[in-house]
């Protein structure tokens, strides 16, 4: 695979094309004039298909002979915590960084920065634990 082909493929992937894994009828290759169907590498954004197997870069005019790909819903990530932020603050005195980030709807890096700036109060010993009171105070701060 040369660098030009890598750039073309990367651009297509960014544009939403994905590798095509369905069955392809042999007549499709005959219609396109493909000499070696084993080299074919198809990308698709259904119903648009592109073959990157040779220099011709074939794009069939129709999807006849191609198996329709099944659409699967995106995998939804399960919530990491079973408690609501308010319940977590009520039941725990010290929170881990990820728990504080969950309560404040911030990234863990932002929570660590707030600890370094002194906005959130941490426990003296490692690992870093943040007091529920300081997280609660930060949650109650609202700019109107």
Topology at the third CATH level for domain 85-140: Arc Repressor Mutant, subunit A (1.10.10)
Residues 6+ apart with CB under 8 A from 122: 115, 128, 129, 130, 131
Give the pLDDT confidence score for residue 90 in this predicted structure. 94
How far is it, in rounded angstroms, from Cα 132 to Cα 13? Answer: 44
Is pLDDT at 144 greater than 60 in this prediction? no
Answer yes or no: is pLDDT of 110 > 60. Answer: yes
Beta strands 94-95; 42-45: pairing state = unpaired
* Ranges of each domain in the chain: 3-51, 85-140
| Whether residue 2 has pLDDT greater than 80 | no
The answer for 45, left when phi > 0, alpha when psi is -120 to 50, beta otherwise, is beta
For position 15, what pLDDT does the model report?
A: 82
Does position 1 have pLDDT exceeding 70, yes or no?
Answer: no
Whole-number Å distance between alpha carbons of 42 and 21: 8
- The rounded mean pLDDT for the chain is 85
Picking from 91, 96, 84, the residue whose alpha carbon sits closest to that of residue 127 is: 96
- What predicted TM-score, i.e. pTM, was given to this entire model? 0.47
Kindly report, residue by residue over 18-60, the tens digit of the pLDDT.
888 888 888 888 888 888 877 888 888 888 888 887 878 888 8
């Amino acid at each position: 695979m040369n660098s030009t082909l890598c750039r073309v493929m990367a651009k297509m992937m960014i544009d939403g094309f994905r590798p095509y894994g369905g069955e392809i009828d042999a007549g499709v290759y005959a219609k396109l004039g493909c000499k070696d169907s084993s080299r074919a590498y198809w990308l698709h954004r259904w119903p648009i298909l592109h073959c990157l197997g040779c220099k011709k870069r074939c794009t069939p005019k129709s999807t006849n002979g191609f198996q329709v790909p099944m659409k699967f819903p995106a995998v939804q990530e399960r919530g990491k915590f079973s408690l609501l932020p308010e319940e977590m603050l009520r039941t725990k005195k010290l929170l881990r960084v990820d728990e504080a980030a969950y309560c404040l709807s911030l990234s863990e890096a932002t929570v660590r920065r707030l600890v370094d700036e002194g906005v959130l109060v941490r426990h003296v010993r490692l690992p870093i634990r943040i007091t529920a009171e300081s997280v609660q105070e930060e949650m109650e701060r609202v700019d109107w």
